Amino acid sequence: MKQNERVFSGVQPTGNLHLGNYLGAIKRFVALQEEHECLYCVVDLHAITVWQDPESLAHNIREVAAAFIASGIDPAKQIIFNQSQVSGHAELAWIFNCVARMGWLNRMTQFKEKAGKHKENASVGLFSYPNLMAADILLYRATHVPVGADQKQHLELARDIAQKFNNDFASSIEKCGHEEGFFPLPKPLIAGPATRVMSLRNGAEKMSKSAPSDMTRINLTDDRDLIAKKIKKAKTDPEPLPSEEAGLADRPEAANLVGIYAALAEMPVSDVLAQHGGAGFGAFKPELIELAVQKLSPISEEMQKLMGEAGEIDAILIDGANRAREIADPVMARVKEIVGFIGK
Ligand code: AQP
């Protein structure tokens, strides 16, 4: 790890954690922990930008923490915590509400998709969600953020906010004796064959927690039978798999299943096609089912075990929050000084 490098990322506790969340984010969190100092956050403040039933929210917070641990993140080495326990996230988000511009947020496609036709009824929090996300990252002056492709635009906004803060307060930053470019410009880490896992029923739609049909996604809590059923029923086309990647163009469902296979097997798409090119889905799907069950079952079994020990999960989150605060509090104190606030 290079000096001053720090990884931050978050997952919303909104239920139905799925294969896209795992391959696009959580699996990559695990890989990064070997070489980096990492903070992995259950972003519960983000979750309430749309209505959450309080009892389900508490369950879902523990479930995301359980998924982190069951996937292999070591809570003793890295920091696992839930966002609402560290008040700096909300405090810095407010300051960023005053740095970010309406025009920037108006361009965010996720808000447009989530608010849909009922924009006037969406919460103000849903609109300013990207400012909170910028605060999550910059509160720890994190430099690298592993996310799925859907978060690229929000990451670009976080960089714009960091840059504008650094510019707007440049003379104060200097006067307070802090280094020029107080906030780093965080880099998105979006790589690999599964940065955008698609719905199993429609290759044009992202696999998502909120899709009404459970058949569109593989949940991390699904058992062997359910995984098999969902993959068997996944939409495909009648052609056999191509032997070259170019042959997947205009075949979104086929590309999705091959991408999932590649990410689970940790091999490039070209190798998957070298092995399975020419096979029809009747032959490929059982292979994918075997692989998915082999990789996901240990995680779901461990999650189930951990969920039976809620007290232990809560203790891990409290410990993580204490350690997160040790990094966040001095940053927040400096931000307040830079902005011109007085007092402790
Ligand atoms: N389909 C996906 N493929 C790859 N990565 C994905 N991520 C989400 N969906 C996919 C990544 O998972 C991380 C956590 O996501 P989140 O829970 O914070 O929020 P989200 O993007 O809103 O997740 P969903 O599942 O799509 O929920 P809804 O249905 O509410 O919109 C992020 O790094 C995200 O990129």
* 71-80 pLDDT, tens digit each: 999 999 999 9
Which residues in the chain show pLDDT less than 50? none
**Domain assignments of the chain as residue spans, ordered by start:** 6-195+309-339, 214-305
Would you say the CB of residue 186 lies under 6 angstroms from ligand 1? no
Question: Which residues, including other chains, have CB under 8 Å from residue 331's CB and lie 6 or more apart?
Answer: 88, 138, 139, 140, 141
Domains 6-195+309-339 and 214-305 share a fold: no
Catalytic residue among 206, 230, 235, 285, which?
206
- Which helix (H) or strand (E) is 204 found in, with range? none
Would you say the CB of residue 12 lies under 6 angstroms from ligand 1? yes
Three-state DSSP class for 104? helix
Structure-token pair, residue 83? 């966002």
Which pLDDT belongs to residue 97?
A: 98
Would you say the CB of residue 27 lies under 6 angstroms from ligand 1? no
Question: Which residues, including other chains, have CB under 8 Å from residue 141's CB and lie 6 or more apart?
Answer: 4, 6, 183, 184, 331
Which pLDDT belongs to residue 1?
A: 53
Would you say the CB of residue 206 lies under 6 angstroms from ligand 1? yes
Output the CA angle 25-118-106, nearest 5 degrees. 60
- 280: how many CB neighbours lie within 10 A of its CB? 13
Would you say the CB of residue 150 lies under 6 angstroms from ligand 1? yes
Q: CATH classification of 6-195+309-339, choosing from 3.10.150.10, 3.20.20.140, 3.40.50.620, 3.90.1150.10?
A: 3.40.50.620
Exposure string for 18-54, b = 16+ CB within 10 A, e = fewer: bbbbbbbbbbbbbebbeebbbbbbbbbbbbbbbebee
Which pLDDT belongs to residue 118?
A: 86
pTM, two decimals, is 0.96
Which pLDDT belongs to residue 37?
A: 96
Question: Which residues, including other chains, have CB under 8 Å from residue 147's CB and lie 6 or more apart?
Answer: 9, 24, 25, 155, 188, 189, 190
Which pLDDT belongs to residue 179?
A: 86
Which pLDDT belongs to residue 117?
A: 82
Pocket test for ligand 1, best of 21, 49, 73, 137 (most atoms within 8 A of CB): 21
The alpha carbon of 20 and the centre of ligand 1 are apart by a number of angstroms equal to 7
Which pLDDT belongs to residue 79?
A: 98
User: What CATH number does the domain located at 214-305 have?
Assistant: 1.10.240.10
Known catalytic membership, residue 209 = yes
- Which helix (H) or strand (E) is 144 found in, with range? strand 144-146
Known catalytic membership, residue 114 = yes
CA distances from 125 to 11, 45, 308 (A): 17, 9, 33
Read off the amino acid at residue 325.
R
Instruction: Give the nearest ligand 1 atom to 147 CA.
Output: 33
